[in-house]
Structure 1
Amino acid sequence: PLPSVDKSGAAVPVSQSEDHCGVRVVREKNRNLSFLSRPDSCYAQIEHNRVVIPLQVQLRGEDQWFRVNISCPLRKRSSNEASVGPKLLPGKCGTVKALQVDCGHQGISSQACTKRGCCYDAHHSTCYYRLNACSLDGNFVFSVEVTDINPGNLTVKGHPECRPVVSTADTAVFKIGVTECGTKKKEHEGVVTYEVEVEERHAHSKAKYSPYSLQVQCEYAASDLQRAAKLRSLYAVTNPPPVVAQGVLKLQMRIAKDASFTSFFPENELPLTLPLRKVAYVEVSIAPPSPDPSLSLQVQDCFAHPVSRHSVWLLLYDGCPNPLDNMRGSFPVDKQGKTTSHSQVRRFNVKTFAFLDPQTGHPSEEEMYFYCWVEICTDDVDCAQSCTIISADGERQRREIPTKSDQLQLVSYGPLLLRQNGTEGESGLCVKQTAMLRVTVFVISGVAAALLLTLLFILISNVTKWTKKK
């Protein structure tokens, strides 16, 4: 018998870990056993500058177990050398209970936990992700230790909804899927790299971001993506082989510069400043190249809220304009002026607005974000938008579409600053209206005074003439 041992003390036979865990046993003709392991296998542990794999060995006919540690020097990879596995692997087991992130369903067996590449705690019968690792099921799982900032304020750049799943006084733990939170993807010589950036977000500060920034990368070879495909689809909605082979399915939200939707504001111009009461042209789409032409989008609910989250405004409800919006500033549009059943691009207009500051009652100058819940499916009927174009007379037509899929993804855009044209705000508009009113009053008063003087002059002239005649 030749079981391997993790830091929690759980012993798993190597024969149950072959193929999916990166380890293998070869029986030689001379009855010797050769143990082979990848440096990023399930049981590999980094100790100083060496990769260590703990094993237990039992000789035939003996009751005693011998612990054997197999170690190899950790070879640094040159910058131009392709990776053979996830960059953050092997990660670590033995994570303290407060920082553990559950892996798999409740009550998962040690064998199933090991197959997922996770750590099994035999004492508590729990399965948790390796910390600081690119998991086999396609997740970033990493910790951020900080002392001078609040770990709970850390978020993924551009996606304030992507927060730590675990947060203590000095540590934040993130679990981010490679298809989530605007993860950037790069491919080079068969190696797929995913990258996210973590930064500190001040919810009640006018400053945009603090100087704190951390970039985290995961690298997967083709074999790693194939293993991930066996554990779970990298797409929550569909799992055709071409999609898994190409990597991630990325949704994007953009704002066009005009109604033609031919030119869009680049990300490096964020936060984007838009004038109030003007139309913003919003597009939600599958980022090219699309992994599967049969996929289609259906925009369901869209909303906006400021950074402080003191308010929220519904832009679209069930794919239609907000029924409580008397201005009817949001409505679905597309290239042909109608809503098509099958489309990987959905567009709608938003008449820009401002939230009111709950303290002052004046328009808030906070940054805000747009969000949309989007359904992805392969059935044309299921993905038909339930609301067509608003006609000129303002009537809205709704079609009841039976929806079979409950797979939704959240896409966002921001930050945005919505302001009055120039430096003029709502208060400036009121001042201008007051000034115009005063000018009008002065003009009317002047005209009335002139008429009064004219009448007085005529009266005096008539009296003088009458006196002379008399």
Structure 2
Amino acid sequence: MELFKNLFGVMVVVVLICDVTAQHHWMLPQQQNQSPLPSQWPQQPFKVPPPAALFDKCQVTQENKIQCGTEDITAKQCENINCCFDGQQCYYGKAVTVQCTRDGQFVVVVARDATLPHIDVESVSLLETNDPSCTPVGVTSAFAIFQFPVTACGTTLKEDESYVVYENHMSSSYEVGIGPRGSITRDSHFELLFQCKYSDSAVEALVMEVNAVPPPVSVAAAGPLRVELRLGNGQCHSKGCVEEEAAYSSFYTAADYPITKVLREPLYVEVNILERSDPNLILNLEHCWATSAPNPRSLPQWDLLVDGCPYHDDRYLTTVVPVDGSSGLSYPTHYKRFIVKMFTFVDQNTYSTKQDAVFLHCATAVCYPSSTNSCEQPCHRQRRAAAAIRRVSSSRMAVVSSGEVMLTEQRISAPFKSER
């Protein structure tokens, strides 16, 4: 599997507010001798609703706290410049913070925890990279800090009525896995478009757009063999609970689709035979794959299981979950389970995102064990033996597909407060 780095992302438009009374500095943790940033910060951020998931941007460990504002800043002043206050110190939260100074400087602080999964802060950059002054002025394990003039680093200038508007943007890079029929990524990514508007006084809002998702599709397909593919949604609620076992205790229904997941979040997949009570039947998964459209033959595709075994060219190998008598199922051989880490498709040529929808498909086969065929999946057998099993079972094959699984909007939180 080839690995590439490229840029794509969720767009966030940020317009900041001027306030000549605000004062601010940043300082890297454990480095109190660094020179602070300019003291005048013309900014009053606009407050937007927080993400749906519970997330406290101010839960930053002491060793990762970066000073935001002067040492004598008050809690109210700290809040007004979109930072966190713990009673003693004003510091940057786990978010993307954009600020503007009176002397014409952008300051952008990107937190590792601003998205799920976490951003590689060392991969964050402005699109203008030829100028050394456009690189981060500070990078820690948890934050990347940029400071540059509003007239530099590819900033565009335009006038908006009584405002002078400076606009720039930055992105994070991500790793792409390239397969024979499609490409995917499991890395978080974002693209941040930000502006500074200058006038005697200015107040503007932050805008985020979230696209609506289409209705769900059928979760079962008819054929000579009736099978069902469904996703487990059980959770651990007691001490000592095993997550992999609890996940299959309950399942999403048709009304739940499309299901929203974040990158690398596990998808607990179960395929089972319907309306059969013969204990000798053994369900095998010939091939499982993912597409970005409901049609299982559509492209791009990404293999999950090949001959019932994890696709070896995926860095995040699919996990096959054993199903035996301890599962509590009446016919455990009628079931197959596996776990996939959530991903999104990218364009095979440009490595930009195609869309955030993922559909799972499995080609299934029923097998009758005999003295010459144990129906064991061929993970450790030779290719010739695997081909033989395919010939035996292909006459009873069916394809089953999942409903739509959506990549959730990235949690790039920059809630701003406005005081008019």
Would the TM-score normalized by the shorter structure come out above 0.5? no
Query: Which structure is higher in helix share?
Result: 1
TM-score of the two chains, using structure 1 as the length reference: 0.33
- Structure number, greater radius of gyration: 1
